[in-house]
Each structure stands twice: as C-alpha cells, then as structure tokens.
Amino acid sequence: MKTYTLDEVQDKLIGKHGTPERERFEYELQMDLIGQAIKQTRQERNLTQEALGKLIGVQKSQISRIESNASNVTIDTLMRVFNALQAKVKFQVELPHCKISVGQ
C-alpha cells in the first residue's frame, strides 16, 4: 500500500502551490479562520453579535456574516471589529517600489 504525504494529497485534491485553485483555497481558509477567531474573541468578551454590531455601527447580520466567512467584508469594517475587540493588528503591503505597514 502506497502512502502519501499531506503535501501530496493537498496538491492532488486542491491544486499545487501557486495555482489559482490553491490560492483561492488558501485565501478562503484564512478568511474562515479570521471569522472563527472573531467569534471566539467576541464570546470570550461576553458580547453578543448585536452588541458588537452596535459598537462598530453595523447590523447583527453583518457580524454573523463576518464570523461565517470574513472574505466579503471591507478592510475598514474588519479594522473596526478588531478595534472593538481590542486586537493588535499588523497589516503590511509590499509592492515593487513601496512597502506600507499599518499597525494598531
């Protein structure tokens, strides 16, 4: 019986690193993890979705969508959520002739 490494299985099922399919999968996974982290932190701070929404000026339904999958939210809204949850945020963009870092 042949055994496979995790990398081999992922390459076969999801696509090799650098392919559009794999990049999309990795992006969606990261957005799901961010949503889960927001939900867990909100619950640890004893905030309801409605209370967090009021803190940042959005409806409860938007908080629910962010927690389900943070991929369809603006950076501004995410930053307001992180600020309300007292999260430390480091955001870095690297372009060919420019490097921008934003921290909170």
Q: HEC profile for the chain?
A: CCCCCHHHHHHHHCCCCCCHHHHHHHHHHHHHHHHHHHHHHHHHCCCCHHHHHHHHCCCHHHHHHHHHCHHHCCHHHHHHHHHHCCCCCEEEEEECCEEEEEEC
Q: Which residue has the tokens 């999801």?
A: 14
Q: Is 96 exposed, middle or buried (0-12, 13-18, 19+ CB in 10 A)?
A: exposed
Question: What does the pLDDT read at residue 100?
Answer: 86
Class of the CATH-defined domain 6-103:
mainly alpha
Question: What does the pLDDT read at residue 104?
Answer: 62
Per-residue pLDDT of the chain (104 residues; tens, 9 = 90+): 889 999 889 888 889 988 999 999 998 899 999 999 999 999 999 999 999 999 999 999 999 999 998 878 888 999 999 999 999 988 888 899 898 887 76
Question: What does the pLDDT read at residue 53?
Answer: 96
